[in-house]
Structures are given as structure tokens and as C-alpha cells.
Amino acid sequence: MPGLFFDDITIGQAFEAGPHRVDRDEILDFANRFDPNPFHLDDEAAQEAGLPGIIASGFHTLSLSFRLFFELHIWDDAIIPSPGLNNIRWLKPLFPGDELRIRATILSKTPSQSRPDRGAVVALHESFVAGGEDPILTVEAIHRLRTRASKRD
């Protein structure tokens, strides 16, 4: 489903991606670079925090979830840098070996008041791991997209 523009988006439309197997080295590498809290790096520290072992940084779970979404390439010719995200909730940990999947569901679309060549789409992004029905992460993303007309020149 490539080449979507603002015009093509409908409320309730959903996009799914994954699975991506998250390995331990990947978790350690991200945590070392961006989130060196002990429960992301050391099993013993994680166990002291009441966890079975290390968990991925929430910023890693978030970034990886959006990578799976962007790899769908649904609106590559329409996307403009996003103004923001709302209500990020890390509901359950992401562990080494987990198989990550995502679903993005369109909640609303609003044409720009000032720029007729674009609009904003809000999508609920949910991340899941194999074997779990409830999301481990939910977040609402504001996606800014061009209209088809904006490409005609």
C-alpha cells in the first residue's frame, strides 16, 4: 500500500508491521548509548528491581516500534517532519528475545488551516510482543502529510 497522501487516509484505517526479534546485544547497545540505567544493562540490577532480567530502554521500544512502522513505506512521498507525540505509555517491559509487532490505527485527520497543501493525521500506535494480546506500548503520533495536489507541478 505505497504512495499514500493526506487525501487517501481514512479514520479507522490500520497498518500492521513486524515481527522483529529483539536480541540482547541490541538492547545493551541502545542502553549504553542513550539510557544507561542499570536495569537496562545488568541482569542482577534488574532482578533487584523486581524484574526477571534486563529490559529494553523505553526509548528503544519507542524508536524500534516506529522503525517497523516507517519500514511499511506507506506515505514516503507525503511525510513532513512530525510536530509531536502524545501519551506515551510503557505498559509492559520489552525483554531480550521478544518478537515485536506494531499496529497503527488512524484516529483523526485535520486539514491545515494555514497551508492547503498539507494536513495532520493522528494515529494510535500500539506495540505488542508474541504471546501477548495486550499492548506493551501505546502512543498517539501526530503525522504531518502532504496532499496529492501538492505534488502536481
Give residues in contact with a second copy (CB under 8 A): 33-39, 49, 55, 57-59, 62-64, 66-67, 70-71, 76, 79-90, 93
CB-nearer residue toward a second copy: 1 or 49: 49
Write down the least CB distance from residue 55 to a second copy, Å: 7
Write down the least CB distance from residue 10 to a second copy, Å: 22
Residues 6+ apart with CB under 8 A from 51: 39, 93
Distance, CA of 113 to CA of 117 (rounded, Å) = 10
DSSP strand pairing (118-129 vs 137-146): antiparallel
CB-nearer residue toward a second copy: 63 or 110: 63
CB-nearer residue toward a second copy: 8 or 26: 26
The SS3 call for residue 109 is strand
Distance, CA of 70 to CA of 100 (rounded, Å) = 14
CB-nearer residue toward a second copy: 12 or 39: 39
Residues 6+ apart with CB under 8 A from 87: 138, 139, 140
Write down the least CB distance from residue 14 to a second copy, Å: 21
Write down the least CB distance from residue 62 to a second copy, Å: 7
